[in-house]
Amino acid sequence: MSTGDAKIDFPPENVRKYLEPGPIVLISSQWQDEHDIMTLGWHTIMEFSPSLVGCMISAINHSHQLIRASGECVINLPTADMIDQVVAIGNSSGTQVDKFRANNLTPRAASNVQAPLIDECVANFECRLYDDALVEEYNFFIFEVVKAHIRRQPEYPQTLHYTGAGIFNVSGATLLDKSADFRPGML
């Protein structure tokens, strides 16, 4: 795990580079003096600009309540070497443990939201709730990424992709560049 490397700003309209591949992410949230972290694999890019991401956050998660109350969260991207922390976070409850402390993770102040960034993650996307039309029925939150931070290297981090039953695929070790076969407008 690399900690404390300086991050640079990244254009929010380009976060598809990190999220469209479908990695497991860590959602951090804060409401008043409570914070939490949860694992999430049920998310999708919905628009470039505004930069919209849809997330299915079950109401059984403590984080659900903090995010509804605050209207904010941070989507953090863990790399494959953080798998033990990812699994531990997904198998514990924020009502019982401080997930930063229990998992040796470093909270860092965000720029535009109260929720803390997870410093160890390779990218952090600060989000504000953009549309809650489907929250009541499906627990589906549409967030706008209002600020994005990334570690410059690796350019294509190895990420975790969950298949259920405790089994993860690792992505990012093999890259295929097919840009020469794209029409210019499709790149």
- 175 is an interface residue for a copy of itself by CB under 8 A: yes
Identify the burial level of 136 via C-beta atoms within 10 angstroms of its C-beta, where 0-12 means exposed, 13-18 middle and 19 or more buried.
exposed
- 11 is an interface residue for a copy of itself by CB under 8 A: no
Stretch in the footprint of a copy of itself (CB under 8 A) among 30-38, 64-72, 118-126, 162-170:
162-170
Q: What is the dihedral of CA 60, 138, 103, 146, to 10 degrees?
A: -140
Could you tell me the two tokens for 8?
Answer: 């640079």
In the set 6, 8, 109, 165, which binds a copy of itself (CB under 8 A)?
A: 165
**Closer residue to a copy of itself (CB): 33 or 136:** 136
Alpha-carbon gap, residue 117 to 76, rounded angstroms: 7
Binding mask 69-108 for a copy of itself (x = CB under 8 A): -----------x--xx--xx-xx-----------------
C-beta of 49: minimal distance to a copy of itself in Å?
14
Alpha-carbon gap, residue 140 to 12, rounded angstroms: 21
C-beta of 94: minimal distance to a copy of itself in Å?
15
- 60 is an interface residue for a copy of itself by CB under 8 A: no
Count CA atoms within 13 Å of residue 61 on its CB side. 22
The residues in 131-160 that bind a copy of itself, with binding defined as CB under 8 A, are 133-134, 138, 140, 142, 156, 160
Count CA atoms within 13 Å of residue 186 on its CB side. 6
Beta strands in 2-98 (DSSP E): 8-10, 25-31, 34-40, 43-47, 52-56, 72-77
Count CA atoms within 13 Å of residue 65 on its CB side. 10
- 177 is an interface residue for a copy of itself by CB under 8 A: yes
Binding site for a copy of itself (CB under 8 A): 14, 16-18, 20-23, 41-47, 52, 54-56, 80, 83-84, 87-88, 90-91, 133-134, 138, 140, 142, 156, 160-183, 186-187
